[in-house]
Amino acid sequence: MARCSPSRSGERRSRISFEDVVTVQEVLNMTFLPMNMHHVANELETPLDHKLLFGGPLLVQAQEEGLRLLAVDRSLFDNPFSTATHELG
């Protein structure tokens, strides 16, 4: 497994590398969904308790597209548009 970049605190948020995510997407024949301006400009139906630089727009994208965000970040676990990775087994 390739190493992924550390977060600002110096700790990786996930043991899964970006390269591994791309490989899984290809194996499962998943389509990459690009983000557009509507995903960034629209409001979340269920507001977050805090501001997320990138997590917020990803949740709006999931909301707008009728999808769920697969999340590693604990601060996203309670949002109805996310699924925690540990819930998958």
At 1-14, the pLDDT tens digits run: 444 455 555 566 67
Task: Give 39 or 81, the one with higher predicted confidence.
Answer: 39
Amino acid 46: pLDDT: 81
Question: Which pTM does this prediction carry?
Answer: 0.60
Domain boundaries, the chain: 1-32, 34-88
> pLDDT tens for residues 28-77?
887 778 999 988 889 888 877 766 666 788 889 989 999 888 777 777 77
DSSP assignment of 5-30, as one string? ---TTSS-S-SS-HHHHHHHHHHTTP
- Mean per-residue pLDDT, 18-34: 83
